[in-house]
Structure formats: structure tokens, C-alpha cells
Structure 1
Amino acid sequence: MSRALLYLISTLLIAGLAAAAPEVNGGLSKTKLVDPEVEEAVNAVSSQIKAKAKVPSGTTLLTAGYATQTVAGINYFVKIMLGPPIGRFIHAKIFMDLKGKYSLVSIRESGGGDPITFF
């Protein structure tokens, strides 16, 4: 399966989940599609994600969607496909402090259809 097709399938899954996700005060935002905001967060901690996921440093991280939680900063809960040839999904929790510095909090294994939730 091509990278573009996998990306399209992931995007459609996230769009479907976003339409069904209710907004909860103090909780996660609705699931959002990929945008420059989340790409900046993922790029800032990509080497840490790859190390924790135990994948080669040249592995492509394809962001499939995300949700945010506003705290004393922002928590990003991000669904990421570990690019070809691996093709597995993880969820990453990335924190951006009030000064704009990103740090990886944790990752967990995920199925491609798993919704983005707290962890």
C-alpha cells in the first residue's frame, strides 16, 4: 500500500471520528486534522518518539490526527503512523510549556482505528 493511500485512509478515519467526538469542557478537544501546529510539536520531539518506539532514526512519522488539552501549557495527544515499511501506529503525548518548549511525555502502541484519548 502506498504512503499516500495510507495517509488518505488515516485522514478519513480521523475525520469520521472528529464528527462523532463531543466537546467536553476541561477535557480533550475534538479530534483535529493535521495542521502546522501539530507538525511543529511532532517535529520538535521526533527523535525522542523514534527512540521510545524503538524504530530506526530514518523512519518517517506520519501524523494522522490529534486532540489538545489546555493545562498550564498544551498537551497534544497525537496519532502517528510509523512510516513505511513499518506501518504501525502509536499515540504520543507531547507537552508544550508556556515558553513554547516541547517535551515528549509518553507514547503507547495503537491500532489504526483507535480513537485519540487520554493516556
Structure 2
Amino acid sequence: MKHLFVLNDAPYGSERSYNALRLTRHLLKAGGEEVKIFLIGDAAACAKSGQKVAPGYYNIADMLAMIIRHGGEAGVCGTCMDARGITDAELIAGAPRSTMDQLTAWTQWADKVLVF
């Protein structure tokens, strides 16, 4: 099955983005699933490299990178990046600047769209 996850929340504060990535990771582990993640609004910061968190606390950029390494795709809303002062060079590998056209295409591709 093809799943599109649309994340809206900042990487820290609420646990919505964290829980979305946990579910994404488990879907990939289950096998036979295709996953795409679109980061929009405050979730654009989830793909920012160089995040430093307290010991023992999850690092959302590392979680996203692991999902990408295991076959998931990611895109980051370019307009949302610009509004938050995030440059292309600051994004983790495999999570490029993206567009609403890409989100539209991914939505049409998906069997299920999950919004967090």
C-alpha cells in the first residue's frame, strides 16, 4: 500500500511529528509498504540538519534520515522553509525543497493520506 504522511507540527513541543515518524518507520519495517513524507508549516524544521537535543531525547532529523535510508521519500515545503529562514543547504540529505505541485502529485499517488 502507498502511504503519504503530511506533517504540520514543529519537531519538538508536541509529539505529532515524532509519532508520525514512528508509524512511518514501523510501516517500512513491516515490508511491502511505500511511504512518502511531506513536511509543511512548522514541520519544515524537522528536516533541518545539525539538531542538538538533550541526551536520551529523540532527534527528529535522525529519525527522518533513517526513514529515508530505508526507502521512504521526503519533501519539504519551499515556501514554508523560506518563511522560517531555512535554506536548502541546511536540510538533511534526502529531504529536498519541494512544492505544492509535488504534494499534489504525491496525494494522487497515495492509497492513504495521513495528516499529523
Normalising by structure 1, what TM-score?
0.27
RCO (CA 8 Å, sep 6+): is it higher in 1 or 2?
A: 2
TM-score by length of 2: 0.27
Q: Which has the higher helix share?
A: 2
